[in-house]
Structures are given as C-alpha cells and as structure tokens.
Amino acid sequence: MRVRFAPSPTGYLHIGGARTCLFNWLYARANQAAFVLRIEDTDQERSKKEYLDEILESLKWLGLNWDELYFQSQRFEIYRSYAKKLLDEGKAYLAEDGSGAIILKMPQKTARIDDLIHGAIQFDTSLIKDQVLIKTDQSPTYNFACVVDDAEMNITHIIRGDDHISNTPKQTVIYEALGFKIPQFAHIPMILGEDGGRMSKRAGATAITEYRRMGFLADALVNYLMLLGWSPGNNQEIISLADAVKKFDIRSANKTAATFDRNKLLWLNSQYIRSTDLNKLAADLKPFLKERYAGQEDNFDGKFLISILKLFIERATTLAEFADALKPFFVKEVEFDAQAKEKFLSQDLSKEFSLLEKKFSGLSLFSAAKVEEAFRQAVAELGITTKQLIHPLRVALSGKTVGPGMFELIEALGKQKTLERIERVVKNR
Ligand code: GLU
C-alpha cells in the first residue's frame, strides 16, 4: 500500500494541510505502507521556495517523516507524454484556437466512487465539461498531473480534504481514459474555525509555524490535529503518535466537520509541557527566552533553567507565556504591574523591607527554608501578619501579585537579585 501528501508550495503549511498529512502518515505507519511526499509545484508563478522550505521544515518539526519525495515541476515531460497518448488514441483533442492546449473529451455515463469515509458517491459525467489536461503554456492542470502521478507512483489510497470531492469525478474519468486502476478515496471532513466558518487566517492563526512561534509543542499540536476528525475511542484525548499508529483506522474518521477549539489545544499543550522531560523542556524554552531577554541577564544555563521552570510548570500553557512568566529571572530591574504596585507598594514599607534586607543578607545558605525562617522572624519582630508583608515582597521581587511559592521563588532568584530588589523599594521611598 502507498499513500501520499501533495501540498502546493503556494502558501504556508496550515492546520488543515498538516492534519491531512498526519492522517496519511498515520495510515502509512499503521499499515506498513510507503508515505510519499509530492510537491505540487506546477504553478510556477505562485509556487515559492520560501513556502516549500517552510512546509518541509514544519513537517519535520511535527515529526511526520516521508519515505519518498517528488516535485511535479520536474515531471512535465511525463504529463505531456500521457496527454499525447490520449491525443493519439482520440480520447483528447487539441484546442481549436491553436494554443496547444490539450483537452479531454468527457464520456457520458454515471459512475460511482466508494469513499472510505463517505461511502458511495454517485455522479453523472455528462454534467462535467471537457477537461483541460495541458494548458497553453504546456504545464499540466492539477487534475491531470495529480492522476498521472498517483497512478505512476502506485498510490493505493488517496486521503485528502473533502474540499477535493468535487475533483474526484473528473479524476476518475482521467484514470479510466488512461487505463489506470482507480485507487481508494478517503475524503476527510473540513476543519471549521471557532466562528463556524471555514478555518481562515481571519478566524485566528492557521500556519503551523505560527503555532510553533506561539510556543506550542510539536507533540501537543500533532495530538490535537489527530483529534480533528478522529478519536482513539474511550474518550481518550492524550495520545502519542506511536500509540495512535496502533489504533488508527481511516474508516473510523468522522464524516462531519471538526471545529477548531483553541482552548482545547491550549489545555493539551499545558498537559504536554508538564509531562515533557525537564532537560528537553529547558532546551525548547531557550529560544523563547533568548528572543526576549538576550543581552540582559543572559543566564540560560540548563541547570538554572530547570530549577526555575519547575516553579512555573504547573501554570504554563505555551512556551511563549512560560518565557514571559520567567521574566523576573532574566531582567536587571523588575517591571511592576501597575495595579500591583498601586495596591502593595504605595504605602511606606521602608522599615519592614529594611528588616528583611538585614535578615536575608545575614543568611549564608540562601535556601527556601532558610529564607522562610528569616522572613517569619522579621514578621514576628515587626508584630504584623505574614500577609501584610508577603504580597508587597512578591510584587517587589517579581512585579506581579501571583506566582509560585514565595520562598522557592526567592531561592531561585538568588541572594543578590533579591537584596537589590528589596533595596530598590526601600530607596524609592
Ligand atoms: N495540491 C493539492 C492541494 O494542495 C493536492 C490535492 C490532493 O491531495 O489531491 O490541495
């Protein structure tokens, strides 16, 4: 068995294309079939190298490896020779305008396709106009090149979006004219945007690279794409590619459109972030940190990173948000959230903060436990409640009112930064 994914490099790889690729890939790996990647770059004006590179890069990032790679732009001779064969057999004719275009005569009959997802689809070929096979510039049309290649490459199963259903009757006629065996079709339902319309740029990001940039993990995104039109059953939502290969069956794909649900993707991503090996997570996070904080406090060392990311991991939804949350560790001066500053740092705290400064600077071991002990002593000496001091301290150190455990945060921040930030509050009075 052989399947293919056939993107046109006239745009970026988007969510729908990646999902089609994934279903082909799963089918191939589940059935020990070959997975062919075919670049449909017959439109030389609209095809761009930048899109091609991006498509290949996105597929690699998603982990969807291919076994064979073809470019239609290198196969024009093949399409012309098949068109010529149809001319010679009288099944096609040259355009009357002398432009050199080759056109297929449409037979008059009813035919049917047995789609693996939609079942039988009947159609009447007499309703279809004669089909251009080779255009005046001698390049092939999509339908013709697609059929010639699928036949030449021995593709047995065509898994693609159901926006192509309308092409399928035209393609079956071409298969028959050329005397090729018609493959199995499986048209997977569209993906709708959250507004119920076709998923579009307007309704949110669609390019895979954009999701990568936003800090979605490849494994989480692949898992999410899988659920757009298929389910492993038993309400299971988190499933690895390896596991999905064992369970995947194209016939169990949904017949109705799937709706893109960003919150679900975010939820899945947070689950994957939590279960990712910390060393890998630190490596994945590094580019996001560098992009934001390079040239400031460049402490992107793996061990340090792991110690701080542990503190925030439970709250992280994307790597970008994760990197934003780690800001206090990578900037010289913390930026105060305006409301937090107003609420917790507007009263005079110089006495309280001076005492904290004294207690903290006396610590030789700057551990969370020791810091907590010192903090509690200070609170007792001042005769105030923990709450009265802990919120202002958090804002002074991180700029925010919420975050991980205070004392763990202080330990991770280190003595020097902690004292500098306390000092800043004392001085600013
Ligand atoms: N190049 C076509 C597309 O991008 C492929 C369609 C097909 O799979 O036949 O939609």
In a domain, 96, yes or no: yes
Determine the average pLDDT of the residues in 302-316. Answer: 91
Q: Are residues 312 and 370 in the same domain?
A: no
User: How far is ligand 1, taken at its centre, from the CA of residue 159, in Å?
Assistant: 10
Residue nearest to atom 3 of ligand 1 (CA): 7
User: How far is ligand 1, taken at its centre, from the CA of residue 185, in Å?
Assistant: 13
Q: Are residues 81 and 184 in the same domain?
A: yes
What is the rounded distance in angstroms from the CA atom of residue 35 to the CA atom of residue 58? 16
Residues 6+ positions from 355 with CB-CB distance below 8 Å: 378, 381, 382
What residue type is 42 in one-letter code? Answer: T
Average pLDDT, the chain: 94
Task: Enter the tokens of residue 222.
Answer: 């692949």
Task: Enter the tokens of residue 331.
Answer: 């900037």
Q: Which of 11, 29, 3, 23 is nearest to 188 (CA)?
A: 23
What pLDDT is recorded for position 162? 92
Percent of the chain with pLDDT over 90: 88
Determine the average pLDDT of the residues in 196-212. Answer: 81
Domain boundary among 188, 223, 240: 188
Question: What end-to-end distance do the CA atoms of the chain give, in Å?
Answer: 75
Determine the average pLDDT of the residues in 318-337. Answer: 94
Determine the average pLDDT of the residues in 326-334. Answer: 92
Percent of the chain with pLDDT over 70: 99
Beta carbon of 160 within 6 Å of any ligand 1 atom: yes
Residue nearest to atom 5 of ligand 1 (CA): 6
User: How far is ligand 1, taken at its centre, from the CA of residue 82, in Å?
Assistant: 20
Q: What is the CATH number of the domain that holds 32?
A: 3.40.50.620
User: How far is ligand 1, taken at its centre, from the CA of residue 25, in Å?
Assistant: 15
How far lies 30's CA from each of 27, 243, 332, in Å?
5, 10, 52
Q: Are residues 170 and 205 in the same domain?
A: no
How far lies 92's CA from each of 78, 102, 132, 216, in Å?
16, 7, 9, 50
Question: Which atom belonging to ligand 1 lies closest to the Cα atom of 40?
Answer: 1
Question: Which atom belonging to ligand 1 lies closest to the Cα atom of 158?
Answer: 8
pLDDT band at 196 (very low <50, low <70, confident <90, very high): confident
Q: How many CB atoms lie within 10 A of CB 41?
A: 20
Q: Which pairing describes strands 102-104 and 131-134: parallel, antiparallel, or unpaired?
A: antiparallel
User: How far is ligand 1, taken at its centre, from the CA of residue 164, in Å?
Assistant: 8
Beta carbon of 379 within 6 Å of any ligand 1 atom: no
In a domain, 197, yes or no: yes
What pLDDT is recorded for position 360? 97
Chain centroid, CA 113 distance in Å: 33
User: How far is ligand 1, taken at its centre, from the CA of residue 421, in Å?
Assistant: 58
Q: Are residues 62 and 122 in the same domain?
A: no
pLDDT, tens only, 210-238? 999 999 999 999 999 999 999 999 999 99
Beta carbon of 40 within 6 Å of any ligand 1 atom: yes
Residue 330 has pLDDT above 80, yes or no: yes
Q: Are 138 and 94 in contact (CB under 8 A)?
A: no
Say which range, 24-33, 60-69, 177-186, 196-205, has the weakest mean pLDDT: 196-205
Determine the average pLDDT of the residues in 158-187. Answer: 96
In a domain, 422, yes or no: yes
Total residue count of the chain as it appears in this document: 429
Question: Which atom belonging to ligand 1 lies closest to the Cα atom of 5?
Answer: 8
pLDDT band at 59 (very low <50, low <70, confident <90, very high): very high
The whole domain housing 372 covers: 338-427
Which residue out of 160, 166, 172 has the highest number of ligand 1 atoms within 8 Å of its CB and is therefore the one to mutate? 160
Residue 201 has pLDDT above 80, yes or no: no
Beta carbon of 38 within 6 Å of any ligand 1 atom: no
What is the rounded distance in angstroms from the CA atom of residue 144 to the CA atom of residue 79? 8
Determine the average pLDDT of the residues in 177-203. Answer: 87
pLDDT band at 303 (very low <50, low <70, confident <90, very high): confident
Determine the average pLDDT of the residues in 171-192. Answer: 96
How far lies 258's CA from each of 96, 197, 230, 417, in Å?
45, 11, 9, 49
Residue nearest to atom 10 of ligand 1 (CA): 7
Phi-psi region at 125: left, alpha or beta (left = phi > 0; alpha = psi -120 to 50): alpha
Q: Are 133 and 89 in contact (CB under 8 A)?
A: no
pLDDT band at 197 (very low <50, low <70, confident <90, very high): confident
Q: Are 199 and 16 in contact (CB under 8 A)?
A: yes
Residue 297 has pLDDT above 80, yes or no: no
Domain tally, the chain: 4
Domain boundary among 285, 305, 329: 329
What pLDDT is recorded for position 429? 54
Say what the pTM is.
0.92
List phi, psi (to 5°) of 321.
-65, -35
In a domain, 272, yes or no: no
Which residue out of 5, 8, 72, 165 has the highest number of ligand 1 atoms within 8 Å of its CB and is therefore the one to mutate? 8
Q: Are residues 11 and 101 in the same domain?
A: no
Residue 62 has pLDDT above 90, yes or no: yes
In a domain, 271, yes or no: no
Beta carbon of 146 within 6 Å of any ligand 1 atom: yes
Return the sign of the alpha-carbon dihedral for residues 207, 210, 211, 216.
Answer: positive
Task: Enter the tokens of residue 298.
Answer: 């460049």
Beta carbon of 172 within 6 Å of any ligand 1 atom: no
Paired with 405 in beta bridges are: none
User: How far is ligand 1, taken at its centre, from the CA of residue 397, in Å?
Assistant: 54
In a domain, 216, yes or no: yes
pLDDT band at 242 (very low <50, low <70, confident <90, very high): very high
List phi, psi (to 5°) of 132.
-70, 130
User: How far is ligand 1, taken at its centre, from the CA of residue 168, in Å?
Assistant: 11
pLDDT, tens only, 107-125? 988 888 999 999 999 999 8
pLDDT band at 204 (very low <50, low <70, confident <90, very high): low
What pLDDT is recorded for position 382? 96
Domain boundary among 188, 208, 229: 188
How far lies 213's CA from each of 321, 388, 409, in Å?
11, 40, 27
Q: Are residues 281 and 320 in the same domain?
A: yes
pLDDT, tens only, 404-415? 999 999 999 999
Residue nearest to atom 4 of ligand 1 (CA): 7
What pLDDT is recorded for position 127? 87
Beta carbon of 3 within 6 Å of any ligand 1 atom: no
Q: Are residues 362 and 416 in the same domain?
A: yes
What letter would DSSP give residue 207?
Answer: B
Task: Enter the tokens of residue 63.
Answer: 């982990």
Q: Are residues 172 and 316 in the same domain?
A: no
Q: Are residues 113 and 178 in the same domain?
A: yes
Count how many Cα atoms sit within 13 Å of the Cα of residue 316 in the half-sphere of its side chain. 28
Q: Are residues 197 and 179 in the same domain?
A: no
pLDDT, tens only, 126-152? 889 999 999 999 999 999 999 999 999
Q: Are residues 10 and 44 in the same domain?
A: yes
Q: Are residues 108 and 176 in the same domain?
A: yes
Give the helix/strand (H/E) hosting 71.
Answer: strand 68-71
Give the helix/strand (H/E) hosting 133.
Answer: strand 131-134
